[in-house]
Structure 1
Amino acid sequence: MRQVVIILLTVIGLYGCKTTQSPSYDYSAFLAAAPTSIVVMPPINNTPEVMAPYGLMAQIVRPIAEAGYYVFPVAVVNQTFMANGMTVAQDVHAIPYQKLHEIFGADAGLYITIRDYGTSYIVVNSVTVVSAEATLVDLRSGEILWQGAASASSGENRGANQNGLLGMLVEAALTQIIETVTDRGFDVAGIAASRLLSTKAHNGLLPGPRAPNKASPAN
């Protein structure tokens, strides 16, 4: 019990620390390149969850399109790679940018790495977390135009349990079962994708040519 209390106090202390916002991103290369179309590479999955790439890819097109860019259909892109024997994301990411531009004719390629995806039991809480990193590369020059990272958790807006330690443990166990069975990661992936690629996010994507609002990302 003493160890549990110590861990809880440590977690509370970490969450209580004030977070500082990262410096504003340098968009000079992005502005100079002015991409209009983006092809999304199959994401590298650094998690044990085999469904992670599918869960994130199902949510990734919408925020890019809403940002004002033409997005190549991910199903067609994946089928193109598979038809040419490229079934591993790491191998796809290693394809020369000139070749990708030749195949798809896209201005830029979005390379994604999934860091977290799934439901886990942590002390007296159970949450589903999705986190990913992305790099936008100019497929005409090979230059990096933008990089970002974002995460989302199913426990962000969850209220505190008022039933004591035992109640918290029971709730955490039930939450883990429910969120695993219902694939809560799919919904959380949508939030993470929006945070990662929204033009309104701090250091997010710049609005594309089809964006209704050409304002810069939040600073």
Structure 2
Amino acid sequence: MKIIKSLLPLLSVLVLTACQTYKADPIDYTAFKQSRPSSILVLPPLNESPEINATWGMLTATTYPLSEAGYYVFPVAVVNETFKQNGLTNAADIHNIKLDKLHSIFNNDAVLYITVKDYGTRYQLIQSVTTVEATAKLVDAKNGKELWYGTAIASDAGQKNNNGGLIGALVGAIVDQVAGTLLDKGYDIAQLAGSQLLSPTKPNGILYGPRSPKYKTEINK
């Protein structure tokens, strides 16, 4: 009994610690509001994952949330062709282009740099999980100031269930693995990651742009 009583304070600390939830520090949007970017050039993401489709899968996930937020986003095909015509096909080389050079070509207000940290499906004995993790920073194209920084992780782990028991889970894993060899499941999860990363409705997301009816209200907060 004495041992149990002596452990109670420690157990209380452990319970309280387990109940705590992580919250990212709020972003300082001062530089963002001063810059007031209207057009955003999204560079091909750097890929730190082993999946070769990660760069383009994540790139396709950026246009919609940024456009919905109220920004002009340079078309991916046009940007890609412009870089290709100048002999640039590698994301790392493109990220090293100086801001004034990018601005002289595209006349953009800001540049979005994205890095894919994780992308793809991991197959286990009775389950497969597809995960996409990315970080991004928005930089003023004229003075190089960092306007915003964000990170997001999206996964289909929460969508998995095992209502069919062990046999059902095994069959599901086999089906997932076969489908994974034919399709890029990371593409769909990348769309979720892109929304989490860039949507103004998400905590620490990018602010609404000039084309949004919510722009004036938010920029003057």
TM > 0.5 fold call: yes
For 1:145, the equivalent position in structure 2 comes to 147
Task: Map 1:13-92; keep pairs closer than 5 Å.
Answer: 18-92=20-94
Separation in 1, partners of 2:214, 2:161:
35
Amino acid of the structure 1 residue aligned with 2:34: A
Name the Cα RMSD after superposition. 2.0
Separation in 1, partners of 2:58, 2:109:
22
Amino acid of the structure 1 residue aligned with 2:183: T
Task: Report the 3-state secondary structure (helix = DSSP H, G, I; strand = E; otherwise coil) of the residue aligned with 2:33.
Answer: helix
Task: Report the 3-state secondary structure (helix = DSSP H, G, I; strand = E; otherwise coil) of the residue aligned with 2:61.
Answer: helix
Task: Map 1:113-192; keep pairs closer than 5 Å.
Answer: 113-122=115-124, 124-164=126-166, 167-192=168-193
Question: What stretches of structure 1 move > 6 A for 4+ residues in a row?
Answer: none
- Give the 3 Å change call, closer, same or farther, for CA 121–110 of structure 1 in structure 2: same
Separation in 1, partners of 2:174, 2:20:
30
Please, which moves more after superposition, 72-81 or 178-187? 178-187
Separation in 2, partners of 1:21, 1:157:
23
Of structures 1 and 2, the larger Rg is shown by 2
- Give the 3 Å change call, closer, same or farther, for CA 186–27 of structure 1 in structure 2: same
C-alpha contact 2:39 2:73 (8 A) present in aligned 1: yes
Query: 1:216, CA displacement in angstroms?
Result: 4.8
**Identity level (%):** 47
Separation in 2, partners of 1:40, 1:101:
12
Task: Report the 3-state secondary structure (helix = DSSP H, G, I; strand = E; otherwise coil) of the residue aligned with 2:158.
Answer: coil
C-alpha contact 2:44 2:56 (8 A) present in aligned 1: no
C-alpha contact 1:45 1:114 (8 A) present in aligned 2: yes
Tell me the alpha carbon deviations over residues 77-128 of structure 1, each in whole angstroms, 9 at most, x when there is no partner. 1111111111111111111111111111000000011111111124642111
Q: Does residue 1:204 correspond to 2:205, yes or no?
A: yes
C-alpha contact 2:69 2:200 (8 A) present in aligned 1: yes
Separation in 1, partners of 2:45, 2:178:
27
- Give the 3 Å change call, closer, same or farther, for CA 190–101 of structure 1 in structure 2: same
Task: Report the 3-state secondary structure (helix = DSSP H, G, I; strand = E; otherwise coil) of the residue aligned with 2:60.
Answer: helix
TM-score of the aligned structures, taking structure 2 as reference length: 0.83
Query: 1:187, CA displacement in angstroms?
Result: 1.2
TM-score of the aligned structures, taking structure 1 as reference length: 0.84
Separation in 1, partners of 2:55, 2:181:
16
Number of aligned pairs? Answer: 201
Separation in 2, partners of 1:25, 1:120:
33
